[in-house]
Protein backbone atom coordinates (compact mmCIF):
# COMPACT_ATOMS: atom_id res chain seq x y z
CA UNK A 1 0.00 0.00 0.00
CA UNK A 2 1.22 3.49 -0.85
CA UNK A 3 0.78 5.83 2.15
CA UNK A 4 1.06 9.58 1.57
CA UNK A 5 0.31 12.64 3.67
CA UNK A 6 -0.72 16.09 2.54
CA UNK A 7 -0.44 19.13 4.81
CA UNK A 8 -0.53 22.87 4.42
CA UNK A 9 1.90 24.60 6.78
CA UNK A 10 2.77 28.17 7.61
CA UNK A 11 6.31 29.49 7.13
CA UNK A 12 6.97 28.52 10.76
CA UNK A 13 5.74 24.95 10.22
CA UNK A 14 2.36 25.26 11.96
CA UNK A 15 -0.76 23.59 10.61
CA UNK A 16 -3.35 25.76 12.31
CA UNK A 17 -3.62 28.57 14.82
CA UNK A 18 -5.63 26.68 17.43
CA UNK A 19 -6.31 22.99 17.91
CA UNK A 20 -10.10 23.12 17.97
CA UNK A 21 -10.73 25.15 14.83
CA UNK A 22 -10.35 24.40 11.15
CA UNK A 23 -8.58 27.01 9.08
CA UNK A 24 -7.56 26.91 5.44
CA UNK A 25 -3.96 28.04 5.39
CA UNK A 26 -3.62 27.44 1.67
CA UNK A 27 -4.97 29.14 -1.43
CA UNK A 28 -7.35 27.87 -4.10
CA UNK A 29 -4.33 26.24 -5.80
CA UNK A 30 -3.63 24.29 -2.60
CA UNK A 31 -7.22 23.08 -2.51
CA UNK A 32 -6.90 21.94 -6.16
CA UNK A 33 -3.74 20.05 -5.23
CA UNK A 34 -5.57 18.43 -2.29
CA UNK A 35 -8.45 17.44 -4.58
CA UNK A 36 -6.08 15.76 -7.08
CA UNK A 37 -4.45 13.77 -4.27
CA UNK A 38 -7.87 12.68 -3.01
CA UNK A 39 -8.81 11.55 -6.51
CA UNK A 40 -5.72 9.29 -6.60
CA UNK A 41 -6.42 7.81 -3.15
CA UNK A 42 -8.78 4.99 -2.17
CA UNK A 43 -8.95 5.96 1.49
CA UNK A 44 -8.44 9.23 3.35
CA UNK A 45 -7.55 9.17 7.05
CA UNK A 46 -7.97 11.81 9.76
CA UNK A 47 -7.93 11.86 13.55
CA UNK A 48 -10.94 12.67 15.70
CA UNK A 49 -9.90 16.26 16.26
CA UNK A 50 -9.49 17.03 12.55
CA UNK A 51 -12.83 15.30 11.90
CA UNK A 52 -14.66 17.43 14.49
CA UNK A 53 -13.06 20.59 13.08
CA UNK A 54 -14.04 19.72 9.48
CA UNK A 55 -16.93 17.24 9.65
CA UNK A 56 -17.52 16.94 5.92
CA UNK A 57 -16.91 14.31 3.24
CA UNK A 58 -13.26 14.36 2.17
CA UNK A 59 -13.87 13.87 -1.54
CA UNK A 60 -12.21 15.29 -4.66
CA UNK A 61 -13.81 18.43 -6.04
CA UNK A 62 -16.44 17.95 -8.74
CA UNK A 63 -14.07 18.47 -11.75
CA UNK A 64 -11.69 15.77 -10.44
CA UNK A 65 -14.61 13.58 -9.39
CA UNK A 66 -15.91 13.61 -12.97
CA UNK A 67 -12.60 12.13 -14.19
CA UNK A 68 -12.81 9.21 -11.72
CA UNK A 69 -14.63 5.94 -12.24
CA UNK A 70 -18.29 6.77 -11.50
CA UNK A 71 -18.48 3.57 -9.39
CA UNK A 72 -15.52 4.56 -7.22
CA UNK A 73 -16.24 4.82 -3.52
CA UNK A 74 -13.76 6.39 -1.10
CA UNK A 75 -13.25 5.19 2.44
CA UNK A 76 -13.03 8.03 4.96
CA UNK A 77 -11.18 6.68 7.96
CA UNK A 78 -11.44 8.33 11.38
CA UNK A 79 -9.15 7.32 14.26
CA UNK A 80 -10.51 8.34 17.65
CA UNK A 81 -10.31 7.59 21.35
CA UNK A 82 -13.21 9.76 22.41
CA UNK A 83 -15.70 8.99 19.59
CA UNK A 84 -17.69 12.14 20.46
CA UNK A 85 -19.18 13.03 17.10
CA UNK A 86 -22.73 13.97 18.09
CA UNK A 87 -24.54 16.20 15.61
CA UNK A 88 -21.95 15.98 12.86
CA UNK A 89 -22.60 12.55 11.38
CA UNK A 90 -25.73 13.77 9.62
CA UNK A 91 -23.40 15.57 7.16
CA UNK A 92 -22.66 12.15 5.67
CA UNK A 93 -26.19 10.97 5.06
CA UNK A 94 -26.78 10.34 1.35
CA UNK A 95 -23.16 10.89 0.29
CA UNK A 96 -22.99 7.99 -2.14
CA UNK A 97 -19.28 8.15 -3.04
CA UNK A 98 -18.11 7.74 0.54
CA UNK A 99 -18.10 5.17 3.29
CA UNK A 100 -17.04 6.06 6.84
CA UNK A 101 -14.92 3.69 8.93
CA UNK A 102 -13.94 4.42 12.54
CA UNK A 103 -11.03 2.91 14.46
CA UNK A 104 -11.20 3.13 18.25
CA UNK A 105 -10.73 1.22 21.50
CA UNK A 106 -13.41 -1.14 22.83
CA UNK A 107 -14.27 0.92 25.90
CA UNK A 108 -14.94 4.02 23.73
CA UNK A 109 -17.24 2.44 21.21
CA UNK A 110 -20.69 4.07 21.55
CA UNK A 111 -23.69 1.74 21.31
CA UNK A 112 -25.75 1.92 18.09
CA UNK A 113 -23.14 3.97 16.27
CA UNK A 114 -24.50 4.59 12.75
CA UNK A 115 -21.26 3.77 10.87
CA UNK A 116 -18.82 0.88 10.80
CA UNK A 117 -16.51 0.81 13.84
CA UNK A 118 -13.48 -1.42 14.42
CA UNK A 119 -12.53 -1.51 18.07
CA UNK A 120 -9.42 -2.88 19.78
CA UNK A 121 -8.62 -3.73 23.38
CA UNK A 122 -6.31 -0.69 23.52
CA UNK A 123 -5.71 2.30 21.24
CA UNK A 124 -5.59 1.05 17.65
CA UNK A 125 -2.03 1.10 16.43
CA UNK A 126 -0.92 2.33 13.01
CA UNK A 127 0.17 -1.21 11.90
CA UNK A 128 -3.28 -2.56 12.89
CA UNK A 129 -5.00 0.19 10.90
CA UNK A 130 -2.75 -0.28 7.85
CA UNK A 131 -3.19 -4.09 7.94
CA UNK A 132 -6.97 -3.74 8.06
CA UNK A 133 -7.01 -1.26 5.16
CA UNK A 134 -4.67 -3.46 3.11
CA UNK A 135 -7.03 -6.41 3.64
CA UNK A 136 -9.85 -4.24 2.29
CA UNK A 137 -7.88 -3.70 -0.92
CA UNK A 138 -6.81 -0.09 -0.29
CA UNK A 139 -3.89 0.69 -2.62
CA UNK A 140 -3.35 4.35 -1.78
CA UNK A 141 -4.00 5.82 1.65
CA UNK A 142 -3.97 9.61 1.95
CA UNK A 143 -3.40 11.00 5.44
CA UNK A 144 -5.04 14.36 6.01
CA UNK A 145 -4.61 14.15 9.78
CA UNK A 146 -2.71 16.56 11.98
CA UNK A 147 0.80 16.20 13.33
CA UNK A 148 -0.15 13.78 16.09
CA UNK A 149 -1.14 10.95 13.72
CA UNK A 150 1.49 11.80 11.10
CA UNK A 151 4.15 11.29 13.80
CA UNK A 152 2.70 7.87 14.61
CA UNK A 153 2.92 6.83 10.93
CA UNK A 154 6.56 8.01 10.69
CA UNK A 155 7.43 6.25 13.95
CA UNK A 156 6.17 2.97 12.49
CA UNK A 157 7.98 3.60 9.23
CA UNK A 158 4.61 3.58 7.48
CA UNK A 159 4.65 6.93 5.71
CA UNK A 160 6.10 6.75 2.21
CA UNK A 161 5.53 10.19 0.72
CA UNK A 162 4.90 13.65 2.11
CA UNK A 163 3.21 16.49 0.25
CA UNK A 164 3.64 19.87 1.92
CA UNK A 165 2.31 23.22 0.84
CA UNK A 166 4.28 26.08 2.36
CA UNK A 167 1.87 28.97 2.77
CA UNK A 168 2.96 32.59 3.10
CA UNK A 169 1.74 32.99 6.69
CA UNK A 170 3.40 33.15 10.08
CA UNK A 171 1.44 31.80 13.05
CA UNK A 172 4.12 32.05 15.70
CA UNK A 173 2.46 30.44 18.70
CA UNK A 174 4.47 27.68 20.34
CA UNK A 175 1.25 25.90 21.35
CA UNK A 176 -0.07 25.75 17.76
CA UNK A 177 0.00 22.30 16.17
CA UNK A 178 2.74 21.62 13.67
CA UNK A 179 3.43 19.14 10.86
CA UNK A 180 4.85 16.56 13.26
CA UNK A 181 3.68 16.74 16.90
CA UNK A 182 3.58 14.63 20.02
CA UNK A 183 6.70 13.52 21.81
CA UNK A 184 8.80 13.78 18.66
CA UNK A 185 10.96 11.13 17.02
CA UNK A 186 13.97 9.32 18.42
CA UNK A 187 17.16 10.42 16.72
CA UNK A 188 17.58 7.17 14.83
CA UNK A 189 14.00 7.42 13.51
CA UNK A 190 14.48 10.85 11.92
CA UNK A 191 13.63 10.04 8.31
CA UNK A 192 15.89 10.80 5.36
CA UNK A 193 13.77 12.24 2.56
CA UNK A 194 14.31 12.74 -1.16
CA UNK A 195 12.81 15.76 -2.87
CA UNK A 196 10.78 14.59 -5.88
CA UNK A 197 9.13 17.84 -6.85
CA UNK A 198 9.23 21.49 -5.94
CA UNK A 199 6.65 23.71 -7.61
CA UNK A 200 6.01 27.37 -6.95
CA UNK A 201 2.63 28.94 -7.67
CA UNK A 202 2.39 32.61 -6.79
CA UNK A 203 3.36 32.83 -3.10
CA UNK A 204 3.12 29.13 -2.23
CA UNK A 205 5.63 26.31 -2.58
CA UNK A 206 4.40 22.76 -3.27
CA UNK A 207 6.88 20.14 -2.08
CA UNK A 208 6.75 16.40 -2.63
CA UNK A 209 9.19 14.24 -0.66
CA UNK A 210 9.68 10.49 -0.69
CA UNK A 211 10.88 8.84 2.51
N1 LIG B 1 -3.06 22.44 7.73
C2 LIG B 1 -3.41 21.21 7.44
O3 LIG B 1 -3.19 20.75 6.32
C4 LIG B 1 -4.08 20.36 8.50
C5 LIG B 1 -4.31 19.01 8.23
C6 LIG B 1 -4.93 18.25 9.23
C7 LIG B 1 -5.28 18.82 10.43
N8 LIG B 1 -5.02 20.13 10.65
C9 LIG B 1 -5.36 20.73 11.96
O10 LIG B 1 -4.53 20.15 12.94
C11 LIG B 1 -5.22 20.10 14.18
C12 LIG B 1 -5.34 18.70 14.72
O13 LIG B 1 -4.12 18.14 14.91
P14 LIG B 1 -4.05 16.70 15.56
O15 LIG B 1 -2.68 16.16 15.45
O16 LIG B 1 -4.71 16.73 16.92
O17 LIG B 1 -4.94 15.87 14.52
P18 LIG B 1 -5.90 14.70 14.41
O19 LIG B 1 -5.79 14.38 12.97
O20 LIG B 1 -7.26 14.97 14.87
O21 LIG B 1 -5.28 13.56 15.34
C22 LIG B 1 -5.42 13.57 16.73
C23 LIG B 1 -6.67 12.81 17.19
O24 LIG B 1 -6.66 11.50 16.63
C25 LIG B 1 -7.13 10.55 17.61
N26 LIG B 1 -6.02 9.62 17.84
C27 LIG B 1 -4.70 9.83 17.59
N28 LIG B 1 -4.01 8.70 17.79
C29 LIG B 1 -4.89 7.75 18.16
C30 LIG B 1 -4.80 6.38 18.47
N31 LIG B 1 -3.62 5.72 18.41
N32 LIG B 1 -5.91 5.70 18.79
C33 LIG B 1 -7.12 6.34 18.82
N34 LIG B 1 -7.27 7.64 18.51
C35 LIG B 1 -6.18 8.34 18.20
C36 LIG B 1 -7.60 11.35 18.80
O37 LIG B 1 -8.97 11.66 18.49
P38 LIG B 1 -10.11 11.95 19.62
O39 LIG B 1 -9.81 13.35 20.09
O40 LIG B 1 -11.40 11.87 18.88
O41 LIG B 1 -9.97 10.94 20.67
C42 LIG B 1 -6.73 12.60 18.70
O43 LIG B 1 -7.30 13.73 19.33
C44 LIG B 1 -6.62 20.55 13.93
O45 LIG B 1 -6.79 21.86 14.38
C46 LIG B 1 -6.76 20.43 12.41
O47 LIG B 1 -7.73 21.32 11.92
C48 LIG B 1 -4.43 20.91 9.72
The model's pLDDT over 161-205, given as tens digits with 9 standing for 90+, comes to 999 999 999 998 888 888 888 777 777 777 889 999 999 999 999
For residue 195, the SS3 value is strand
- Parse the chain into domains and list their residue ranges: 2-210
| pTM for the whole structure | 0.96
Distance 70 CA to ligand 1 centre (A): 30
**N-terminal to C-terminal alpha carbon distance within the chain:** 14
pLDDT of residue 192: 87
Count CA atoms closer than 13 A to 86's CA, side-chain side: 3
CATH number, domain 2-210, options 3.40.50.2300, 3.40.430.10, 3.90.1150.10, 3.50.50.60: 3.40.430.10
Length of the chain as a residue count: 211
Average pLDDT, the chain: 93
Cβ of 145 closer than 6 Å to ligand 1, yes or no, is yes
Distance 145 CA to ligand 1 centre (A): 6
Are the C-beta atoms of residues 160 and 4 closer than 8 Å to each other? yes
- What are the residue ranges in the chain where pLDDT is below 70? 19
Amino acid sequence: MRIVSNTAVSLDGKTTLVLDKHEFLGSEEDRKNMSRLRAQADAILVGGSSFRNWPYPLLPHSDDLEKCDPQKKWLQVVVSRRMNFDNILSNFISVKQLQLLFFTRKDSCPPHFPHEVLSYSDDPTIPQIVDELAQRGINTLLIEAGGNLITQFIRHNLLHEIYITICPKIIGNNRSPSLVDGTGLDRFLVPQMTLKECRTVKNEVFLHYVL
